Structure formats: structure tokens, C-alpha cells
Amino acid sequence: MSDRVIVAMSGGVDSSVAAAMMKKKGYEVIGLTMQLGSRNGRCCSEQDILDARRVADALSIPHYTVSYKKAFQNDVIDYFVKEYIRGRTPNPCAVCNPKIKFGVLLNKVRSMGARYLVTGHYANMKRDPGTGRWLLKRGRERGKDQSYFLGRLSQDQLAHALFPVGNYPKDKIRILAEHMGLPVARKTESQEICFVPESGVARFIENERGEPFRPGKIIQSDGKKLGEHQGIIGYTIGQRKGLGISAGRPIYVTHIDGRNHTITVGDNHELYHDRLIASEPNWIAVPELVDKMEVRTRIRYKHRPALSTIEMIGKNRICVHFRTPQRAITPGQLAVFYQKDIVIGSAWIEHIER
């Protein structure tokens, strides 16, 4: 296979600098921009495609667009909607990476005779000389580290991935972009879910479903009714503001029941738990989990990894026991397991274990 690489160019500064870095290293670089937009969404806008093309022109590399709208709808948007209907909080980026970027797009990369798919993720990799396994590592800048969102990648996917910006802080990437004369050097980055329009998650999901969410009860843990809500979609575990009820003290969402359409609220201390059950483990640093393992577990992207012990409790289920209780463990989110900077693996949070 040649030294050709494909860069997934989003039109943002990170992937643009990644493309420039690969060209500087002597690779034959081709840029691909994915069109993934939903019926109502705003991702992969015409401006983003134009920005990616302008960067490719500045670097004198070929650039193409590829449409994976159907796959994105089936694998990411439909999953996103179904999780909210169940009363869970989905993590679309953690699904998109293995299924779309390193799924259908990586297949395209291989068909074009390229060795690697290059992205602008803030993460690092190395190969374990002892086991031969590819190891996923945290990015240098902790505030921008995106290894969490890559925790579902397989060994084969990691073997064909490159993350050239992972060893740099974000500010340095912007400086490099300016020095390289890239037209997106000062482009701001979106902090929102890429396919959700400005009208918000609730409106987006109701449009996808074709009907509004059912109203239901807001209750305490003892079952006492405190009020009503207009749909579970408007709530998440740990939420305090916007509950629309008065209890005479600060109260928080502690549980969402998608089947019975109820929201349970309680005091802050009710949000803390030291055990969770997760499913569908994906192991990266090890082929499987045989014995108990001491790790640091990250229960959401902005969560600081916490000391914990993980063990299998069935063929497809893991118990995570934290040394100290963690706040707002949320079903539907991804639990990612670390030892130092290395990602051991990940699993989907199902429920807390009392």
C-alpha cells in the first residue's frame, strides 16, 4: 500500500492543520469532507464544505465530498432519538466515530488505496511492543482531550488511524494554522451537537418522531407527586434549573423513567452513587477483562476520571465500583476506563447499582 493518506476535513482548524502536517511529512494527502446532514440539521454546512475546499486549495491537495446521510440517519440520529425516548441521555459522538468516521469513511479510504485515515482528534496512539496491540492515549491538553469519544474503536480501526494534532495544545494549533496561512485559522468551533438545529434537542426529536412527547408526573423518590412535566426530553440527570416546581429547597433530577414518563427529583446527596452497571464492553489495551482491574473511570466527557475497580459480572456486563461516590451517573452515557493516559476500554452505562 502507498504512502497515501485521507484526511477527514470538517472545515475546522484541527483537521485543516492535520492535513498540513501530513503533507509536510511527505505523505500524499487527499481531503474528504462528509455530508451527513439530517433533514433538520446543520452539520456539514455548505460553509464548512467551502472552508475545507479552501484549505485544500491552499495546501494544493485534492479534495472531495462524500455523502453518508443515510448511514448517519440510521446509525446516529435514529439511535439518538431512541435513547431519549427510553429516558436515557445518548452520546452521539461516541457512536459516530466507530460507525461513520472509522466505519463507512474508513472503508472509502481503503477503496482509494490509502494507508491511513487522518482526523483532527486530540488523542494519541502507540503500539504495545509486548502485545502488539494498538493503544489509545489521552491528548496532551487535558481540557481538549478527545480519547473519550474514541473509546469504541476496534484494533483494526486504530491500526488505520492517525491523530497528528494530539500532542499539541489547542492554542498552538491555531498559531500553526496562522503560520501555515490556512484560511480557517480564526474559525470558531461549535460546542453543540452537530446535527441538532438552533431550535434545540426537544424540537429536533419531536420533528424526527412526528409527534410531541407525552406529559407526565414529577415525583419524589417516595412516589409523592410534586408537579407535571411536558415531556421527559426536557430533563437530564443532575438538572436543577427549569424544573417548573417549587419544593422550598434545591432539588435535582435523580431518575428518568421513559416507560412510565415520570421524572424523579430529590436532594443533591441522592445523586451520588459508588456503583454502576455497564454493558457492551469494547476492550482496547487488553483483549478481554479476566480479573478485577484497578482503573480510573470517566462517566462523561467533562468528568474527571475517578479511581475505581471494574469486573465482569456476565458475558456482556461490567460492574464499576468507585472508591468515592460519583455525582449524576447517567444511563446512556459512555464509561471509559483509563490506566494513566491509556484507554483500557469502554462500556455503555445502563444503571446505578444501589
Annotation marks residue 319 as catalytic: no
Cα(81)–Cα(100) distance, rounded to whole angstroms?
17
Give CA–CA dist 265/222, Å, rounded.
Answer: 10
Instruction: Give the residues across from 145 on adjacent strands.
Output: none
Reduced to 3 states, what is the DSSP secondary structure of residue 24?
helix
**54 contact partners, CB below 8 Å, separation of at least 6:** 183, 184
DSSP string, 82-142: HHHHTT----HHHHHIIIIIIIIHHHHHHHTT-SEEE---SEEEEE-TTT--EEEEE-SST
User: Known catalytic residue: 43?
Assistant: no
Q: From CA 76, how far away is CA 196, in angstroms rounded?
A: 12
Element (H, E) at 52: helix 46-59
CA angle at 105 for the pair 286 and 110, rounded to the nearest 5°: 80
SS3 for 241? coil
The catalytic residue among 43, 44, 93, 96 is 96
Q: Which amino acid is at 345?
A: G
Question: Diameter of the chain by CA atoms?
Answer: 68
How far is CA 240 from each of CA 264, 304, 306, rounded to the nearest angstrom?
A: 12, 21, 23
Distance CA 138, CA 116 (A): 20
In degrees, to the nearest 5, what angle opens at C-alpha 331 toward C-alphas 328 and 332? Answer: 125
Catalytic residues: 96, 194
